Structure 1
Amino acid sequence: MRITLKQLLVFQAISQTQQVSKAARQLHLSVPAVSMSLKELESSLGARLFERTPHGLVMTDSGNLVLAHANKVLNQVNQLEQLFKEQAQGVGGTLNIGANKTSGNYVLSKKLPLFKTQYPNVNTRLKILSSSAIEEMVHNNALDLAFISRKPSDKEMEYIRWRSDRLCIVVSPGHKLAHRPATAADLSAATWILDEEESATRVESLHILRELGVTVQDEIVMNTMGAIKRAVGTGLGLSILPLLSVDAELERGDLVEVATDGHRESRYIYAIYKRDNLTPLMERFLDCCEVPRA
């Protein structure tokens, strides 16, 4: 037994119009073609689906049973067609996004709700890891696009400079270094609250401290920026964090940037994706994030 979508569509149209001729006009088919499809369906099922009456065709009990299943199948087919149509237009489907901690927690977390409001039929997934791990996932096609704190090392990657950032030394408003420039001796004597081992922020932070002539003698290691900011806010110590992760706290006055004589070097967040893999859906997300493109 083989039932086709055409047979179910014809059956549904006849059930709605109660006439073969009206169903044929609705489907833009000939009357013989509609009659043949109905006969084939009844033959496959071994049951009559309609009875002829003076007022038109009336469904039998078997017809009513078939109609419930036919409506369900045809609705699922319509949903599948709509899904792929939306995906081709960039307004549906699934988008797998990667990010380092700074861009994921403090920038994309604000962009994703906006994107979801604009495109409610898109299923978005955000993965937050180190820049190197995220780049590898893009390379392996586990992610569609990503945002990392350096240019990609993979030559197959396209990259676009997105947001400027820099590392800054922060303390609580009540800390003595919140009100005067800090010397290398001040910073060497301080308690430092730094990011977890081997993170990119930690590596850059230690490099900056060495350039400032600072020797870290008292250190506390934490694995999230949120925990570090809370600890700094209580006056436990100093930290070096990306400006994008503390700009709200600096604006509110919950944290204060420490003034030093060192050079405040800028760095950037880059949007990356594999060359020739850019889809309409990815383009819409990049536009939502205001990523500049030629």
Structure 2
Amino acid sequence: MRITLKQLAIFEAVARSGQVARAAEMMNLSAPATSMALAELEKQLEARLFERVGNRLRLNAQGSLLLPLATEAIHKVEQIEHLFSSPEAELSGTLNVAASSTIGNYLLAKSAVAFCQQYTSSLVDLNINNTQAVINAVLEFSAEVGFIEGQCLDSRIKVEAWHKDKLLVFCHPAHPLAGQRVEPKALTGMSWVMREAGSGTRDYFLNAANALDMQPQEKFSFSTPDAIKQAVKLGAGLAVLSELTLEKELSRKELAVIDVTGLTLERQFYRIRHKSRNPTALCEAFDHFCQRFLNIDH
């Protein structure tokens, strides 16, 4: 059985008007074509749908059973057409985004909320993890777009500069070097609280520190900035994190910065996409929104 939407629309027009000729006008069809479509529908259903009373057609019991179902089907299709033809259609649905820790917690979480408040038919599903996990999510197509703090050298991934960040070396306020500018050798052999393996913050810092022969000694390793800050507050050692994560503690003088001569810790954040996947309109809208919301310059 292959009932078409056109047949149902013709049936409904005949049922509403009571005449094939008037239904044909409503459907912008010829009377013979309308009559043929109605006859074909009755043949497929193996049931008569109308009784002729004078020059009019009246629904019989079978036709009365079909009419509300046909009307519902037509309305459903009209809703689908309206949904996908409206300007808001492309900005509806769920966008899967993956972001490394600092970007996700301090930049994209608030961006996602603001975006969804403006585009109420959209949902940004933000998965926060370390850089390598974000790269994997994009490679496995579980995230349409990713934002990372470290490098990505995978040839399947398109990498674009997105935003800049600055890392700060910090310590307990009572540390002898708190608030001072020191030479790299002054930190040689000191204990550090580090981010976990796979973290963009960790990789970037270690590359810069090793270039200055600082030889940081890892004493503890944690996967979140909050855990690292708590450890430093307890005197566990020095640490390095994005200034985005330290603003509150520094203003309260709960932590202190150490300025290391020659240690340049300004880094680039990156937006990554799979090369074989074209961005959806929703993804592009979110990207443009973030640029404005976070005042990102390109």
TM-score range, shorter chain: 0.7 to 0.9
Residues 197 and 63 (structure 1 numbering): CA distance in 2 closer, same or farther, change over 3 Å? same
Show the 5 A alignment for 1:101-112.
101-112=101-112
Residues 140 and 182 (structure 1 numbering): CA distance in 2 closer, same or farther, change over 3 Å? same
Return 49-58 or 266-275, whichever deviates more: 49-58
Q: Over residues 115-165 of structure 1, what are the superposed CA-to-partner deviations in whole Å (9 max), with x where a residue is unaligned?
A: 223333334333334333433443454432221224542445443321111
Q: Over residues 53-78 of structure 1, what are the superposed CA-to-partner deviations in whole Å (9 max), with x where a residue is unaligned?
A: 68965544433432343344334434
Structure 2 counterpart SS, 1:90: helix
Contact 1:183 1:260 in 2 (8 A): yes
Return 260-269 or 151-160, whichever deviates more: 151-160
Match of 1:7 in 2: 7
* Letter in structure 2 aligned against 1:30: S
Q: Over residues 197-252 of structure 1, what are the superposed CA-to-partner deviations in whole Å (9 max), with x where a residue is unaligned?
A: 34332233344555666555572222222333344456665421122333455456
Structure 2 counterpart SS, 1:35: helix
Contact 1:90 1:284 in 2 (8 A): no
Return 51-60 or 198-207, whichever deviates more: 51-60
Counterpart-to-counterpart distance in 1, 2:138 and 2:109: 20
* Letter in structure 2 aligned against 1:258: I
Show the 5 A alignment for 1:176-187.
178-181=178-181
Match of 1:242 in 2: 242
Counterpart-to-counterpart distance in 2, 1:232 and 1:11: 76
2:283 is the alignment partner of 1:282: yes
* Letter in structure 1 aligned against 2:195: D
Structure 1 unmatched runs, 5+: none
Structure 2 counterpart SS, 1:2: coil
Structure 2 counterpart SS, 1:288: helix
Counterpart-to-counterpart distance in 1, 2:178 and 2:243: 16
1:17 is displaced (CA, Å) by: 4.7
Show the 5 A alignment for 1:24-43.
24-43=24-43
Q: Over residues 60-98 of structure 1, what are the superposed CA-to-partner deviations in whole Å (9 max), with x where a residue is unaligned?
A: 443343234334433443454456546997323443322
Counterpart-to-counterpart distance in 2, 1:42 and 1:245: 70
* Letter in structure 1 aligned against 2:229: K
Structure 2 unmatched runs, 5+: none
Residues 197 and 90 (structure 1 numbering): CA distance in 2 closer, same or farther, change over 3 Å? same
Contact 1:98 1:147 in 2 (8 A): yes
Counterpart-to-counterpart distance in 2, 1:58 and 1:115: 53
TM-score, normalisation: structure 1: 0.76
Residues 31 and 241 (structure 1 numbering): CA distance in 2 closer, same or farther, change over 3 Å? same
Structure 2 counterpart SS, 1:289: helix
1:38 is displaced (CA, Å) by: 2.4
Structure 1 counterpart SS, 2:120: coil
Structure 2 counterpart SS, 1:159: strand
Counterpart-to-counterpart distance in 2, 1:134 and 1:275: 15
Counterpart-to-counterpart distance in 1, 2:224 and 2:112: 21
Show the 5 A alignment for 1:136-151.
136-150=136-150
Contact 1:162 1:269 in 2 (8 A): yes
Contact 1:83 1:93 in 2 (8 A): no
Counterpart-to-counterpart distance in 2, 1:212 and 1:126: 37
Contact 1:161 1:268 in 2 (8 A): yes
Match of 2:121 in 1: 121
Structure 1 counterpart SS, 2:269: strand
Show the 5 A alignment for 1:83-232.
84-85=84-85, 90-150=90-150, 152-155=152-155, 157-171=157-171, 178-181=178-181, 192-210=192-210, 214=214, 216=216, 219-232=219-232
Match of 1:270 in 2: 270
TM-score, normalisation: structure 2: 0.75
Structure 1 counterpart SS, 2:6: helix
Return 255-264 or 38-47, whichever deviates more: 255-264
Residues 163 and 182 (structure 1 numbering): CA distance in 2 closer, same or farther, change over 3 Å? same
Structure 2 counterpart SS, 1:193: strand
Match of 2:258 in 1: 258
Return 103-112 or 256-265, whichever deviates more: 256-265
Contact 1:87 1:281 in 2 (8 A): no
